[in-house]
Amino acid sequence: MGLDSKRVKAVQLNLEGLFKLLGGSADDRQKFWEKKKGITSVLEAKIINAHLDTIAAQAKAIQSSAKALNDTAQQIARRG
C-alpha cells in the first residue's frame, strides 16, 4: 500500500496556502514534504495516510474559520 498521490497533493496545496498565510518559508515547506516523500515502509505509509486525513480535516476547518472571519470583518467594515 503506497501513499495516495492525489490526497498528498491536495493536502500539500492546502498546507502551502496555510504556510504562506502564517509566514512559513519555502524552505520549511520543502523540508516538510521531503520528509513525507521519504517514507518507504507500509506501516509508515498507513500512519502518514491517517495523519493526512487529520491534517486535511484541520486545514479545511482553518480555511472555513478564516473565511468566516473574513466575511465578518467585511460586514463590520460596511457598517462603519
Alpha carbon separation from 49 to 2, 5, 39, 69 (Å, rounded): 9, 10, 11, 30
pLDDT digits (tens, 9 = 90+) for 51-80: 888 988 998 899 899 999 999 999 999 997
Looking at the predicted structure, is the pLDDT value of residue 3 above 80? no
Cα gap 15→10, rounded to integer Å? 9
pTM: predicted TM-score of the whole model, two decimal places: 0.48
Q: Which of 17-21, 40-44, 53-57 has the lowest mean pLDDT?
A: 40-44
Q: Taking a C-beta distance cutoff of 8 angstroms, is the pair 50, 60 a contact?
A: no
Place of cell 486545514: 59
In this predicted structure, what is the pLDDT of residue 7? Answer: 82
Q: Is the alpha carbon torsion for 36, 41, 43, 49 positive or negative?
A: positive
Q: What is the mean pLDDT of the chain?
A: 79
In this predicted structure, what is the pLDDT of residue 25? Answer: 73
Q: What is the chain's length?
A: 80
